[in-house]
Amino acid sequence: MHEFRNAKKRLLMEKAVLINVITPDNTEFQANEYLDELEFLAMTASIEAVARFSQRVERPNSATYVGKGKLQEIKEYIANNEIHLAIFDDELTGAQVRNLEKELNCSILDRTSLILDIFALRAQTAYAKTQVELARYQYILPRLTGMWSHLERQRGGRGTRGGSGEKQLETDRRIVMDKISQLKEQLKKIDRQMATQRGNRGGLVRVSLVGYTNVGKSTIMNLLSKSNVFAENKLFATLDTTVRKVVIENTPFLLSDTVGFIRKLPHQLVESFKSTLDEVREADILLHVVDVSHPNFEDQIKVVKHTLDEIGASNKPVFMVFNKIDAYKYTPKSEFDFSEDRPGKISLRQLEESWVAKENSPAIFISALKKIGIDKLRNDLYKMVGETIRGRYPFTGFLWQNFDEDLTQDL
């Protein structure tokens, strides 16, 4: 039976090599940024990346992800430097993992299981823990088959049906499937409680902070609600949804902060975190927070839009919040600079103007850390909430007194 890697036991910084492929859809710059992100993910899981390997390919090799030559190069590096872990920037098939383990003679971690590891480390509440466990079992289920043929090969057999390997596979599969339905049952129970809680929130307007991971959502939540949500320079600092009542100029509304998104977010996680994301799905307004100091922020915006689409939360009024302007590096174009797509080549003002010109959703540029633009953010938010209320109660006066009770709660 497949055991989960016990990420919590990894006390010493384990050393690893990072591997990705550059497909025709990606530029070299992007591929490098992706490895930076993979390195950050590894670091979050207490793994130190010591080397990187990239290969330009049409598509990943179905047996070994990278081609023969590259594999040999990685193998030599791993052997010479006593590395015991290789991390791949894509989800690998069971067969690819087995082949790579054999070829490279070290542990293999793919992007999905690395993210699942981090989620498992980060999960604080019983709810988040259950969701992560469900996602991990769902990841394992289709990979059990491969383990069976692996067992068969070890026995030297030719996959004779009814052999012990197949029986073992059947038993394992049943255990995993039972576990999955048990976890789903548990989640359903919590979901019902949460739906009731959400139903109890009166008619308050609901605003959700959404965005890529590590962009500053929790920092903004803390600023606006004077609460204390855990914010840290690590990926996925937040896994649960926190809801706070915020009052601006006598107008109360609910503000929620939730798990951040990431490129290639494992679909098992999206699936099992569906209820955590209910707050986003049911929100009236989305505050899409962007880390404008990140060289790949435009890519990140696309990822967030795509994920919102996936969870059924597109088509809502979106307020774009470009955060971390204090860290934005503007390096003007020199006369010999012919780069088309270089980060920082335009000033923040130009960026703001071009953004407003090409998108029709409102936008604001702030620094949550240095508290720049926060008053304007409050003011704009107040107006948007007001518009939502007027749209909802066009004829009746709205009685705030109805909503005086404190609805502050963590989910």
Ligand X SMILES: Nc1nc2c(ncn2[C@@H]2O[C@H](COP(=O)(O)OP(=O)(O)OP(=O)(O)O)[C@@H](O)[C@H]2O)c(=O)[nH]1
Residue ranges binding ligand X (CB under 6 A): 211, 213-219, 231-233, 235-238, 260, 323-324, 326-327, 367-369
Minimum CB–partner distance for residue 238 and Mg ion (Å) = 3
Whether the Cβ atoms of residue 241 and residue 258 lie closer than 8 Å to each other: yes
Separation between Cα atoms, residue 71 and residue 75, nearest integer Å: 6
Minimum CB–partner distance for residue 297 and ligand X (Å) = 13
- Helical spans, DSSP H, in 81-216: 94-104, 111-122, 126-140, 144-155, 164-199
Minimum CB–partner distance for residue 305 and ligand X (Å) = 16
DSSP E strand boundaries for 265-362: 285-291, 318-323
Comparing CB distances to ligand X, the nearer of 369 and 407 is: 369
Q: Decide: is 239 part of the binding site for Mg ion (CB under 5 A).
A: no
Minimum CB–partner distance for residue 121 and ligand X (Å) = 12
Minimum CB–partner distance for residue 257 and ligand X (Å) = 7
Whether the Cβ atoms of residue 253 and residue 385 lie closer than 8 Å to each other: yes
Comparing CB distances to ligand X, the nearer of 232 and 353 is: 232
Count of residues that bind Mg ion according to CB under 5 A = 4
Minimum CB–partner distance for residue 218 and Mg ion (Å) = 3
Q: Decide: is 238 part of the binding site for Mg ion (CB under 5 A).
A: yes
Binding span for Mg ion by CB under 5 A among 157-165, 187-195, 238-246, 367-375:
238-246
Q: CA nearest 52: which of 62, 42, 63, 64? A: 42
Separation between Cα atoms, residue 360 and residue 337, nearest integer Å: 31
- Helical spans, DSSP H, in 156-296: 164-199, 217-225, 267-272, 278-281
Residue at shortest CB range from ligand X = 260
Q: Which two three-digit tokens encode residue 373?
A: 């633009």
The residue within the footprint of Mg ion, chosen from 237, 246, 269, 289 (CB under 5 A), is 237
Binding span for Mg ion by CB under 5 A among 22-30, 106-114, 231-239, 261-269:
231-239
Q: CA nearest 132: which of 276, 3, 229, 10? A: 276
Q: Supply the DSSP symbol for 200.
A: T
Q: Decide: is 225 part of the binding site for Mg ion (CB under 5 A).
A: no
**Chain residues in the site for Mg ion (CB under 5 A):** 217-218, 237-238
